[in-house]
Amino acid sequence: MGRGRKPYIANDKDRRVVKETTLAGIDKELVSRIIGVSVPTLYKYYSDEIEFYNAQANARVAGVCFQMATSGLFPAVTIFWCKTRNGMREVQRSEIEVFDGATKITHYVDAPPTETREEWESRVKTRDL
């Protein structure tokens, strides 16, 4: 009778594969298949590396995104940054409170911007002077 699988021993070769594939954003199920272990075994032996290299990859991409957003050369990235990091929206949100007897009901309504682009630009230009 067979004794099942041989126990896995972590090694530098597989550690490099985990590093490179994690930095590249490869799915962990595929990484486990590449090195020939199950996903739980992958995490058992390489969870520290996976966590570290995921954070490193995210930091690299965030750094590039920040550089692009602040360069003035990529307005779409600047808008993306403002929306995702600053909670900015292209429309203003208005709250309307309606009292129904003793119950207060708050409705949120997306309203168009209150000023035109030209009004905003003139306000910003005078503020910067």
- What is d(CA 90, CA 88) in angstroms, rounded to the nearest whole number? 7
The whole-number pLDDT of residue 121 equals: 72
Same domain for 97 and 80: no
Q: Is residue 33 part of a domain?
A: yes
Average pLDDT of adjacent 10-residue blocks, the chain of 129 residues: 80 97 95 96 97 95 93 89 77 60 61 66 63
DSSP secondary structure letters along 36-105: T--HHHHHHHHHHHHHHHHHHHHHHHHHHHHHHHHHSS-HHHHHHHHHHHS---SSEEEEEEEEETTEEE
Same domain for 96 and 76: no
The whole-number pLDDT of residue 45 equals: 97
Burial of 39 (0-12, 13-18, 19+ CB in 10 A): middle
Same domain for 70 and 36: yes
The whole-number pLDDT of residue 34 equals: 96
Domain that holds residue 25: 12-85
Same domain for 62 and 20: yes
